[in-house]
């Protein structure tokens, strides 16, 4: 007999509150970056907000640090050795724009493990979110712009190597261009890299993605969403990836300290709907990583990331997880 009490009445009638997993570690916000615009405490704040929204312990998966053999799929042995030994040159540290410490290296190893775990889980459930990750400025042989290791690139290559996916797409909606990821996959035709970003900011020199959409300071919601709709679901239909890595950056938000795209929270909610809903409708597993976000009030960034999770909830309720119904995409 069905035990309604143990199943939870709410769950029985309305479905699971969070029909997907969160990958998160408390170690993410323990790394000390000193006074820095990149505030790792946002990870903890998102975690706490999720608990307040009714998430349970079983909704969270704890990542483990990535193994060096996996990192070597993307990163050079020389760079990894320098990171471990702590002998990056002053100019390398300047390019990285983060103070080096042993804890920083540990943080990087752990967040790559987190994105791998989230990507594997997305293949099982249809959607998964890593409360972290999205360090898209990291190149094979060096780090840049707060990014030590390229978690998305390593996870993608590992799944490909293991035969779990044949083709993947990176949908990079962080404010900044995904230069590291674009460079890493430049010659690999089983990866489609898409980046929509602000042109007149870092990185000054942009690598070529499979498709780059450059916007300008002050463009706002209408231009941003129109540019995105021009390519989605078109690109999903054309490339048919086995997995999408979605970098749901919070830094296109109006008032961000590092940029000026001036997209509103509502605009970013619509962005998430476009990217995630179409993947789900077409039965393409998608993993969310969070990327950047540098609002003067960190709560605004947390709200943007929580909205992404609300979009996931909404879409999962509508289209389900696992082997989602494949609806024919409109022409
Ligand atoms: Zn960014």
Convert the pLDDT of each residue in 183-208 to its tens digit. 999 999 999 999 999 999 999 999 99
**Largest pairwise CA distance in the chain:** 67
Q: Which domain holds residue 202?
A: 22-319
Measured in Å, residue 146 CA sits from the centre of ligand 1 at: 9
* Residues around ligand 1, an ion, CB closer than 5 A: 174-176, 249, 251, 292
Name residues whose C-beta falls within 8 Å of residue 51's C-beta, 6 or more positions apart in sequence: none
In a domain, 3, yes or no: no
- CA 177/CA 196 separation, integer angstroms: 7
pLDDT of residue 228: 98
User: CA-CA distance, 229 to 247, in Å (whole number)?
Assistant: 17
Residues in the chain: 331
Residue 330 placed within a domain: no
Query: Does residue 319 or residue 158 have the better pLDDT?
Result: 158
Tell the residue number behind the tokens 């962080």, with chain if given.
Answer: 174
Checking if the pLDDT of 87 tops 50, the result is yes
pLDDT at 308 over 60: yes
Instruction: Say how far apart CA 287 and CA 247 lie, in whole Å.
Output: 9
User: For residue 121, is it within any domain?
Assistant: yes
Taking CA atoms, 225 is separated from 110, 240, 247, 268, in Å, by 33, 22, 16, 9
Classified as helix, coil or strand, 53 is coil
Question: How much is the pLDDT for 12?
Answer: 59
| pLDDT tops 90 at residue 331 | no
What is each CA distance from 163 to 166, 168, 228, 284, in whole angstroms?
7, 12, 30, 16
**Strand pairing class (60-61; 243-247):** unpaired
Cα of 256 vs centre of ligand 1, distance in Å, is: 10
Alpha-carbon torsion, ordered 315, 176, 106, 244, to 10 deg: 30
Q: What is the pLDDT of residue 325?
A: 47
Whole-number Å distance, alpha carbon 254 to ligand 1 midpoint, is 13
pLDDT band at residue 5 using 50, 70 and 90 as cut-offs: low
Cα–Cα distance list, 107 to 27, 100, 134, 210 (Å): 7, 11, 13, 30
Span 258-269, mean pLDDT? Answer: 97
pLDDT on residue 3: 59
Look at residue 325 and tell me if it is in a domain: no
Which CATH number does the domain housing residue 144 bear? 3.40.800.20
In a domain, 258, yes or no: yes
The reported pLDDT for the residue numbered 61 is 98
Can you tell me the distance from the alpha carbon of 16 to that of 297, in angstroms, rounded to the nearest whole number? 32
CA of 11 to the centre of ligand 1 (A): 37
List the one residue out of 165, 83, 78 whose CA is nearest residue 116: 165
CA of 250 to the centre of ligand 1 (A): 8
Residue 9: inside a domain: no
Q: Could you tell me the distance, in angstroms and rounded to a whole number, from the CA of residue 103 to the centre of ligand 1?
A: 22
Confidence of residue 9 (pLDDT cuts 50, 70, 90): low
pLDDT at 13: 59
Cα 229 to Cα 83, 216, 226: the distances in Å are 40, 17, 5
Q: Positive or negative, the Cα torsion across 322, 24, 100, 199?
A: positive
In a domain, 16, yes or no: no
Q: Would you say residue 323 has pLDDT above 90?
A: no
Tell me the pLDDT band of 16, cut-offs 50, 70 and 90.
confident
Q: Give residue 297 CA to ligand 1 midpoint distance, Å.
A: 16
The predicted pLDDT at position 139 comes to 98
The average pLDDT across 35-58 equals 95
In angstroms, what is the span from residue 249 Cα to ligand 1's centroid? Answer: 6
Angle (deg, nearest 10), helices 102-125 and 151-161:
50
Give the pLDDT band (50/70/90) at residue 163: very high
**The pLDDT value given to residue 173:** 98
Q: Does 1 fall in a domain?
A: no
% the chain with pLDDT above 90: 89
Q: What's the CA gap between 268 and 307, in Å, rounded? A: 8
Residue with tokens 């997209």: 263
HSE, CB side, 13 Å, CA atoms: give it for residue 266: 3
Q: Who contacts 3 (Cβ-Cβ below 8 Å, separation ≥6)? A: none
Name the domain count of the chain: 1
Mean local confidence (pLDDT), 10-16: 64
φ, ψ for residue 217, nearest 5 deg: -50, 130
């Amino acid at each position: 007999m069905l035990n309604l009490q143990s199943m939870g009445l709410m769950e029985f009638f309305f479905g699971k509150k969070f029909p997907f997993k969160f990958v998160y570690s408390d170690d993410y916000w323990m790394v000390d970056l000193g006074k820095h615009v990149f505030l790792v405490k946002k990870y903890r704040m998102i975690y706490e907000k999720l608990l307040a929204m009714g998430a349970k312990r079983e909704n969270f998966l704890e990542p483990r640090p990535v193994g060096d053999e996996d990192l070597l799929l993307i990163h050079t042995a020389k760079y990894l050795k320098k990171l471990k030994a702590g002998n990056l040159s002053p100019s390398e540290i300047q390019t990285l724009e983060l103070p080096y410490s042993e804890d920083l290296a540990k943080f990087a190893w752990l967040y790559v493990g987190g994105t791998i775990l989230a990507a594997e889980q997305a293949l099982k459930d249809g959607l998964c979110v890593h409360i972290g990750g999205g360090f898209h400025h990291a190149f094979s042989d060096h780090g840049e712009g707060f990014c030590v290791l390229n978690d998305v690139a390593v996870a993608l290559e590992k799944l490909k190597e293991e035969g779990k996916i044949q083709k993947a797409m990176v949908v990079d909606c962080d404010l900044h261009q995904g230069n590291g990821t674009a460079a890493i996959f430049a010659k690999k035709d089983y990866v489609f890299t898409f980046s929509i970003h602000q042109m007149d900011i870092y990185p000054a020199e942009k690598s070529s993605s499979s498709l780059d959409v450059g916007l300008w300071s002050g463009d706002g919601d209408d231009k941003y969403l129109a540019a995105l709709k021009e390519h989605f679901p078109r690109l999903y239909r054309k490339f048919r990836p086995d997995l999408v890595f979605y970098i749901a950056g919070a830094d296109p938000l109006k008032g961000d300290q590092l940029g000026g795209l001036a997209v509103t929270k509502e605009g970013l909610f619509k962005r998430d709907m476009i990217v995630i809903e179409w993947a789900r409708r077409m039965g393409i597993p998608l993993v969310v990583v969070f990327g950047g976000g540098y609002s003067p009030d960190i709560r605004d960034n947390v709200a943007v990331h929580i909205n992404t999770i609300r979009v996931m909830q909404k879409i999962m309720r509508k289209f389900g997880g696992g082997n989602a119904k494949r609806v024919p995409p409109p022409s």
